[in-house]
Amino acid sequence: MSGAYRQAWQDSMDQPRAFWAQAARAIDWTTAPAATWDDQAGWFPGGTLNTCYNAIDRHIAAGRGGALALIHDSPVTDTVCRFTYDQLGEEVGRVAAMLASLGVGRGDRVILYMPMIPETVFAMLACARLGAIHSVVFGGFAPLELAKRIDDAAPKLVLTASCGIEGTRTVAYKPMVDEALRLADHPVAHVLLLQRDRLGADLVPGRDLDWAVLRAATAHDPVPAPVAVASDDPLYVLYTSGTTGTPKGVVRENGGHAVALAWSMAHIFDIGAGDVFWAASDVGWVVGHSYIVYAPLLVGATTVLFEGKPVGTPDAGTFWRVIARHGVKCLFTAPTAIRAIRKEDPDAALLHAIGTGPCRAIFLAGERADPDTIGWLETHSGLPVIDHWWQTELGWPATATCLGLGDRRRLRGSAGFPVPGYRFAVLDETGVPVPAGTSGAVVIAAPLPPGAFRTLWNNPVAYARNFAAFPGWYETGDAGFIDDQGFVHIMGRTDDIINVAGHRLSTGQMEQIVAATPGVAECAVIGADDAIKGMIPVAYVVPRADMRDHAALHHAVIASVRRELGAVAALKTAFIVPALPKTRSGKTLRNLLRKIANGEDTPIPPTIEDPAVPAQIIAAMRQTAQA
């Protein structure tokens, strides 16, 4: 074990206030914090700062305005553009002036429903500059889901683009925004629309504004000065799936967020000023917030914004070309992307032909990285491949191999060691720690470190539930174990949230939608293993007695989920079965269904009410496959 890692983790446990006070010196504060921690105000109480200033202005003031800040590489449009810190500051300032002209100020909410283009980054940072709170909704989310977020966040403004480009598909955004605003109860004053060359969109008179027109109209307005906000003021609200189908708005505070992300870049990823860092994610996810937009810029690095797919844009060599073209020092992506690349290029011919340039490490997160995928990538890239684990709620890695602290230990199948600031335990149902190597509920000691959430937007009761099952501990919702070497193994969810190619989706929410489909008597939706996406949802549907057309019912179920959740839900399989396996008390045996879906041996549980049902389900699945 690296001595530097061991010492840092121990210091963060024994003297957390001193540890994080030292880390906070990496941030420029308008008003220095009065303390490091307060039970009511959280991290760095009394401190004021501006995150946009820390990400841009201070680097320019230090004479690094000419350094490269942002690279937009878009194989789907065959364009690459670059922005220095001076240029990024100018672009963000112009968008801030546009938003200010519409009355956006400190504490106001702004929803972004935008693709992976530079203007999205400009808008996020412009909100931060004004002290406004941005909420990015993943482009392509269904109108109903967008409407829920509009009603919860109550934004003054929605920013969108005419379209997104998903591989070879062009996705019209504006009709979905229009439908969401029709469904939402909260009135939005304006929609600010960026017209893209690929596909235009119509404007609603009196409500919608053209991005280019407003920019021209405010071209001579002064750039708004960065607004100093309190350390515990929200920077953004990011919605994640809830088990009831109601989205949870994770609140990220300015102070702890800036401190934690700056610390993580140096000590986990070994990235500093002038280095090129690429998080191959989307700004609709927490990875995009933390490691595309904020963390690299906070430390003066260069961040890559990628608009494309790991395969098909144009081929399975895209990632390696981007790394080589821009001199990427560290890649952060999802196991799903690597599995997709491996499927298209199993012998890694393109990887060997293109190489990985100056890249020193590849980090994986988003879902569990299986040992086989890690082994394939390490063998063919010659680089350390590091699985690490965290959540939207946490905002930055909780387990990892901390390269910046000199640690190099890895164990395929493990997500690494606790990052300094995080104390883990694995508990049984009664809250008692289990022996090393024994599975249980993975928990983290409270208070959580800087950067982690301290509330949910409009829902403090739901936030408190995260700490209710095991007092003094945050319940991650994941099951796993810690081995006798201290490696943390995250094995899967303990609730009904599944991870589909990095998207956290609620099978319970899908189940509600399927159950409401005409012709469905009852149903269950589970997460099945998938070689590419990690997991996929699979529905088991018991038809009503009068529902004779099973093929039509299958299509209706798929269409219902797609209509309400969007294509991201990825439900493509609905087996029509005569019954669901249940206990005598009426509880559906979802774990048994999961094993059946995965083709595993399925011994009949002693608690099952009708032992004949599993065989009936398997027979029905075979009939569906043959059809």
For 249-261, the three-class secondary structure string (H helix, E strand, C coil) is EEEEEHHHHHHHH
Residue ranges of domains in the chain, CATH in brackets: 3-308+388-464 (3.40.50.12780), 498-626 (3.30.300.30)
Exposed/middle/buried for residue 174 (C-beta within 10 Å: 0-12, 13-18, 19+): buried
Band (pLDDT 50/70/90 cuts) for residue 544 is: confident
Q: What is the CA radius of gyration of the chain?
A: 24
Angle, helices 550-565 vs 143-153, to 10°: value is: 30
Q: What is the pLDDT of residue 242?
A: 60
pLDDT at 584 over 60: no
Residue 414: CB atoms within 10 A of its CB come to 26
- Residue that the structure tokens 């100093």 belong to: 228
Least confident of 182-186, 228-232, 477-481: 477-481
Whether the per-residue pLDDT at 516 is higher than 70: the answer is yes
Average pLDDT on 491-501 reads: 71
Between these two residues, 545 and 288, which has the higher pLDDT value? 288
Per-residue pLDDT band for 465 (boundaries 50, 70, 90) equals very high
Model confidence pLDDT, tens digit, residues 251-263: 999 999 999 999 9
Does residue 196 register a pLDDT over 90? yes
Which has the closest alpha carbon to 236: 123, 149, 127, 152? Answer: 127
Count of other CB atoms within 10 angstroms of residue 485: 11
Q: Count the alpha carbons within 13 Å of 560 in the hemisphere toward its beta carbon.
A: 21
Answer whether residue 551 shows pLDDT above 70: yes
Enumerate residues 6+ apart whose C-beta is below 8 A from 346.
Answer: none
Tell me the angle at which helices 118-130 and 85-101 cross, rounded to the nearest 10 degrees: 60
Q: Is the pLDDT of residue 343 over 90?
A: no
277, pLDDT greater than 90 = yes
Whether the pLDDT of residue 130 is over 60: the answer is yes
Please choose, from the candidates 34, 12, 7, the residue with its C-alpha nearest in 3D space to the C-alpha of residue 23. Answer: 12
The pLDDT of residue 477 is above 80: yes
Across the range 57-67, mean pLDDT stands at 98
β-strands 157-161, 109-113 pairing: parallel
Give me the sheet containing 520-530, strands edge to edge: 520-530, 534-543, 573-576
Query: How crowded is the C-beta side of 535, counted as CA atoms within 13 Å?
Result: 27
Alpha-carbon gap, residue 259 to 281, rounded angstroms: 22
What local confidence, expressed as pLDDT, does residue 58 receive? 98
Percent of the chain with pLDDT over 70: 96
Coil, strand, or helix at residue 537?
strand
Render pLDDT for 412-447 as a digit per residue (tens, 0 to 9): 999 999 999 999 999 998 899 999 998 889 999 999
Residue 382 has pLDDT above 80, yes or no: yes
Mean pLDDT for the chain overall: 93
Q: Which ranges in 238-303 belong to alpha helices (H)?
A: 254-267, 286-288, 295-298
Instruction: Give the pLDDT confidence of 104-115 residue by residue, as tens digits.
Output: 999 999 999 999
Closest among 626, 523, 529, 536 to 576, alpha carbons compared: 523
Average pLDDT over residues 141-145: 88
The Cα diameter of the chain in Å comes to 75
- Spatial contact of 188 and 177, defined as CB atoms under 8 Å apart: no
Structural tokens at position 67: 């350094």
Contact 201, 173 (CB under 8 A): yes
| Low-confidence winner among 36-45, 347-356, 383-392, 565-574 (lowest mean pLDDT) | 565-574
Nearest partner of 292 among 318, 328, 259, 317, judged by Cα? 328
The whole-number pLDDT of residue 1 equals 57
Phi and psi of 64, rounded to 5°? -110, 25
Q: pLDDT at residue 563 above 80?
A: yes
Least confident of 43-57, 423-437, 459-473, 544-558: 544-558
Which pairing describes strands 208-210 and 190-194: parallel, antiparallel, or unpaired? parallel
Predicted pLDDT of residue 499: 72
- The pLDDT tens digits of the residues spanning 1-34 come to 579 999 999 999 999 999 999 999 999 999 999 9
Task: Name the band, by pLDDT with cuts 50, 70 and 90, for residue 606.
Answer: low
Window from 265-274, 297-306, 606-615 with minimum mean pLDDT: 606-615
At 420 the pLDDT is 98
Report whether 482 contacts 440 (CB < 8 A): no
pLDDT band at 451; cut points 50, 70, 90: very high
State the burial class of residue 206 (Cβ atoms within 10 Å of its Cβ: 0-12, 13-18, 19+): exposed
Provide the phi-psi class of 150: left if phi over 0, else alpha when psi is between -120 and 50, else beta.
Answer: alpha
List CB contacts of 559: < 8 A, sequence separation 6 or more.
Answer: none
So what's the pLDDT on residue 492? Answer: 72
What's the whole-model pTM score? Answer: 0.87
Model pLDDT for residues 295-329, shown as the tens digit of each residue: 999 999 999 999 999 999 999 999 999 999 999 99
Buried b / exposed e across 340-363, counting CB within 10 Å, b at 16+?
Answer: bbbeebeebebbeebebbebbbbb
User: Alpha helices of 246-386 — where are they, by DSSP H?
Assistant: 254-267, 286-288, 295-298, 318-326, 335-344, 349-354, 371-381
Distance of CA 504 to the CA centre of its chain: 8
Q: By C-alpha distance, which of 244, 148, 142 is closest to 508?
A: 244
What would the mean pLDDT of 464-491 be, rounded to a whole number? 94
Which secondary-structure segment (H or E) carries 79? strand 79-84
| φ, ψ for residue 590, nearest 5 deg | -65, -35
